[in-house]
Amino acid sequence: MNLRLARAADIPALHALIAASVEVLQARDYSDVQRAAALTTVFGVDTQLIADGTYFVVEARDTLVGCGGWSFRRTLHGSDHGAHRDDTQLDPARDAARIRAFFVDPAWARRGIGSLILEACEQAARRAGFASLELAATLTGVALYRARGFIEIDRTEVPLAGGERLPIMRMQKRL
């Protein structure tokens, strides 16, 4: 496996990876309707992360098998089509860096890909001067983040199209 920064040329493969991850890995935690609505309003590629050089991909056999990143911007979750984006830069002296948009190819799940990307994100955020991290975990991702030292702050819901709601868990970690 090879960990590297995502490039604009990866975007088509990222769309496919994210859709597959959501459809298969999140099926036990979210309904078909929630997953479909989330793919049009919440989940997807955030090109700002790629442009900022804070989004990683993992390749295996010349195929993207995982992705995820961190951000020095205020937006906590969502893709390019997210409704509540705030690209204001965070202050490392008082704000937590954001952990964002982690997805793994279902055929490669539970092989340490999420942990590999998360470690790279933690190191990069630390180098940028951040002392803590915050994220909005899907219910599917909570176990990974707990295992990596994140603590739960609160459970909330993200509004989706058609009146659906997506339960998520806000979590934090000190670096």
162 or 149, greater pLDDT? 149
In angstroms, rounded to a whole number, what is the distance separating the alpha carbons of residues 98 and 41?
A: 19
pLDDT computed for residue 83 by the predictor: 61
Does residue 82 carry a pLDDT above 70? no
**Would the CA dihedral through 28, 158, 44, 104 be positive or negative?**
negative
CB 130, CB 96: distance < 8 Å: yes
Segment (H or E) for 126 = helix 113-127
Regarding pTM above 0.85, the answer is: yes
Does residue 84 carry a pLDDT above 80? no
SS3 5: strand
In this predicted model, what pLDDT tens digit does every residue of 99-158 receive, in sequence order? 999 999 999 999 999 999 999 999 999 999 999 999 999 999 999 999 999 999 999 999
CATH architecture designation of domain 2-79+87-174: 3-Layer(aba) Sandwich (3.40)
